[in-house]
Structure 1
Amino acid sequence: MKLSVNRGPTFSAPTPARMTEKELVAACRRQDRRAQKELYDRYSRAMYTACYRICGDFDSANDALQEGFLKVFQKLDTFRGDSTVGAWMKVVIVRTALNKLRSRKIMEDLPLNHADEELDWGTSALDTEYLEKAIAKLPDGYRAVFVLIEVEGYKHKEVAEMLNITTGTSKSQLFYAKKKLREYLRHYV
């Protein structure tokens, strides 16, 4: 007969699914593959959506997502914790998607006329899926600026820096993106 000895409660590290953001980041920095998978699982859907909206097609969005997450894991030591890890990752992944778009060399530099006009942009009556399709039809430069400003909430100055264009060009491309979307959606509204 074997006697068991009670040595008190045992404490184990939480599984990645139960880790706080801080614990998860620390585990990823230690190259814990389960933690890296958990970080990917927690954020990949939202990050893919941003990539798709910028790139406009599934293959490019998937490529940008994968490249972006590789960069996230490579650069995680530079994350200082000034924001959430999700916000930090979004910047890395959005920049990766923009670089993918830029590599296709389709960014357009448009004239600045009408760039500062305010447009009444109401989308409440639109079906979301139809709007997403219309956004995907935009030329790459228009789509990138539109998504970054109208969807992701960046300012023109930030977008100009990310895309290596002038603030005026950012405003112009947003103006023309909205104009093009109105054309696409005119029969729908």
Structure 2
Amino acid sequence: MERELLLECQRNDRNAQRKVYEKMAGKIYSVCKRYLKNDEDIEEVLADTFYKIFTKISQLQNPDIFENWAKKIAVNECLQKLRSQKMLHISLEENHMVSSETVENISFEKDILGLLRFLPEGCRAIFNLFAIEGYPHKEIATMLSISEGTSKSQLNFARKKLQELLISQHI
């Protein structure tokens, strides 16, 4: 992101904010879609994320890390949304069976990110945080108020479930 554009955003320049939104909306939307299933929730979190970006942009010390900073805000907003809906309940006992019929309906989504939506909310969040965002288990445990062991168990559960889905689709 251009330094001057970010400085203009810090001065609450609406045109600069619009340009930043246009450049980043797709990327932030993709982050939100990895965590949330409901389009209305995604749109709400997208709006909340940009609100927070533009109200906190003066705290950004290094404009070179703007994109990562913005994505981190989006992740935190998604987790907050899941917590508020009590969808972040983590349990290995949950039986989340996915029928082959359901999976066949997503034949156009033959990638892991497309299959993530079939994971339970809690383990999908942990998979995203660990495998995609790169957070260590200790930090995930702190973020989600769970133990490191639970984080590791849920990651393994997510990997096994994704592997089953991939095998069933011959991907």
Fold-level match, TM-score > 0.5?
yes
CA contact (8 A) 1:156 1:171 kept: yes
User: For residue 148 of structure 1, what is the aligned residue in structure 2?
Assistant: 129
2:149 is the alignment partner of 1:168: yes
Could you say which structure has the larger radius of gyration? 1
Size of the alignment, in residue pairs? 156
- CA distance in 2 between counterparts of 1:169 and 1:82 reads 35
Letter in 1 for 2:27: A
1:56 aligns with 2:34: no
Alignment of 1:1-150 (within 5 A): 21-81=2-62, 83-110=64-91, 129-150=110-131
Provide the rounded CA distance (Å) in 2 between the counterparts of 1:40 and 1:145.
27
Q: Is the 8 A contact 1:64 1:96 kept in 2?
A: yes
Runs of 4 or more above 4 Å deviation: none
- Aligned to 1:110, the other structure's residue is in SS state coil
Structure 1 counterpart SS, 2:48: helix
Superposition deviation, residue 128 in structure 1: 5.4
One-letter amino acid of the structure 1 residue matched with residue 70 of structure 2: M
8 Å CA contact 1:65–1:93 kept in 2: the answer is yes
Q: TM-score, normalised by structure 1?
A: 0.75
Say if 1:82 and 1:27 are closer, same or farther in 2 by CA, change over 3 A.
Answer: closer
Alignment deviations for residues 10-44 of structure 1 (CA, whole Å, 9 cap, x no partner)? xxxxxxxxxx6211111001110010011111111
Which runs of 5 or more residues in structure 2 are unaligned?
Answer: 93-106
Aligned counterparts of 1:81 and 1:161: Cα–Cα separation in 2: 25
SS of residue in 2 equivalent to 1:61: helix
CA positional deviation for 1:75: 0.9
Q: What is the distance in 2 between the residues matched to 1:81 and 1:138? A: 36
Select between 79-88 and 97-106 the one with higher mean Cα deviation: 79-88
Does structure 1 retain, via aligned residues, the 8 Å contact 2:90–2:123? Answer: no
The two structures, once aligned, show a CA RMSD in angstroms of 2.1
TM-score by length of 2: 0.82
For the 8 Å contact 2:3–2:63, the answer to whether it is kept is: no
User: In 2, Cα distance between the equivalents of 1:90 and 1:130?
Assistant: 21
Displacement of 1:60: 1.5
- Residue 82 of structure 1 and its aligned partner are, at CA, apart by 7.3
